[in-house]
Structure 1
Amino acid sequence: MSPITVRLPYPISANRYWRTRVITPKAGRSPIVSTYVSPEAKEFKAIVGEMLRSVGCVRPFTGRVAIAYTLFPNRPQDWKTRQRKHGDGWQDTVQCIDLDNAQKVLLDALKGIAFEDDVWVREITARRAEPDAEGARLVVTITPIVTPQPQTELPIAPPAQPAFSFDNA
């Protein structure tokens, strides 16, 4: 199977991915805490699914996969001013979600669409890129990892012939 690369929208923050609701029951009972996936997260996952299907991912990879993603923050209108002021470090002044924050959202969105379950993700490479004219986005490559199969039967070598013999005849 070949790797799949897809350009996705900028991910939502993991802080907005989950929602928690506390239900207060009648007196004398403990509150019930319910955590659920937010509507924003469901929408992001749906968009990811559509985009993956558009590049030929019709069913999830089975088995081990490697994920490589590059997060491109939005380039602000004053980027040239920032570049003059801060030099090569100008991009550090641009607002961007943390890579680990983006990673959790990405893996949850890919689960069941690009791979069966995130338990199969065996390698992750993440990078934050310099903002550019193409806008905020997330570019991800999913690569199946081919696992070499162990040899089930070992060939039996013929017995070694002695180099010399002790013939007492």
Structure 2
Amino acid sequence: MRLSGGRVAMIEVRLPYPPGANRLWRVARGKVIATDAAKNWKRETALRAKVAGVRPTKQAVAVEMVLHPRLTAKGVASQTRLDVDAPIKVTLDALQDVAYADDRQVLSVSSRIGSPIRDGGLTVRISAA
């Protein structure tokens, strides 16, 4: 995380929309493990965050998530309804050790539907709490 006078500066990163809940985990030999889709998304999230300048902080943070519907070929928002709470847990977990040492440092989380973008996605803003 960028630091400014000892404080966390607000930083923003655009991410692909995370895999759906039923595509995050699978059971193999009696153990619950992350799917390849979940591992790939987490890896992509860490890479994009680092490129955006995100560095781990030990300070308390606030996280804002803006879910962007996919633009259709006609240039309008997809009618698929995005679930505003679906990406919260997986995104906070993916940013652990990338934006903060532990997700217990996250003191507030907000999530809302934003404007449509090509291929859809998720904008995450992290700032000092």
What TM bracket, shorter-length normalisation? 0.7 to 0.9
Q: Structure 1: which 4+ aligned runs deviate by more than 3 Å?
A: none
Of Structure 1 and Structure 2, the greater strand share is in: 2
1:62 maps to 2:58: yes
RMSD: 1.9
Q: CA deviation at 1:127?
A: 0.6
Retained in 2: the 8 A contact 1:61–1:144? Answer: no
Of Structure 1 and Structure 2, the greater helix share is in: 1
Greater gyration radius: 1
1:113 to 91, 94, 98: 98
The number of aligned residues is 122
CA deviation map 1:139-159 (0-9, x unaligned) = 1101122xxxxxxxxxxxxxx
Q: CA deviation at 1:34?
A: 0.6
In the other structure, the counterpart of 1:130 is 115
In the other structure, the counterpart of 1:45 is 42
Q: CA deviation at 1:78?
A: 4.4
Retained in 1: the 8 A contact 2:82–2:113? Answer: no
Instruction: Give the unaligned 5+ runs of structure 1.
Output: 24-32, 81-90, 146-169
In the other structure, the counterpart of 1:12 is 19
TM value normalised by structure 2: 0.83
Retained in 1: the 8 A contact 2:68–2:114? Answer: yes
CA deviation map 1:33-67 (0-9, x unaligned) = 2111111111111111111111112x312131100
Instruction: Give the unaligned 5+ runs of structure 2.
Output: 1-7
